[in-house]
Amino acid sequence: MKYLKRIFYIFIFIAGFHFSSTAQVKSTFINDDGVQTVKFYPNPAASFINFEFKKDYDKSYTLAIYNFIGKKMTELKPSEQKITVPLTEYYRGVYIFQVRDVKGNIVESGKFQVVK
């Protein structure tokens, strides 16, 4: 299963992320209901990234960030509407985030770029 997940993320990276070091990764990700659950900025990010949830978000959600080969970098439960994630342990590149519900279903996902 881990092997397939890594292949999936590598495929996404190769197929959809053709950009130079100064290009921005688009941040328009909307879940299946057509409602955006979380906004994230700045994108590209250098030292931190903010995740801002809508006011009536489910407190049981989990936010996970993965690098492009599928390694989980951060996982946390958003206790506040706005979360700032420091990027000191992150290398330059593209990262995927997922917001999951209590059952593990993906509510929303997106990508952002780290530039250093």
d(CA 23, CA 34): 26
Q: Give domain 38-114's CATH architecture.
A: Sandwich (2.60)
Q: What confidence tens digit (pLDDT) does each residue in 60-115 have?
A: 999 999 999 999 999 999 889 999 999 999 999 999 999 999 999 999 999 999 99
Task: Report the DSSP beta bridge partners of residue 43.
Answer: none
Q: Assess whether the previous peptide bond of 86 is cis (omega < 30° from 0).
A: no
Q: Tokens 């290398």 identify what position?
A: 91
Q: What confidence tens digit (pLDDT) does each residue in 17-54 have?
A: 444 333 344 344 445 555 678 999 999 999 999 999 99
Amino acid residing at 53 = F
- Sheet of 93-100, strand order: 72-76, 62-67, 93-100, 106-114
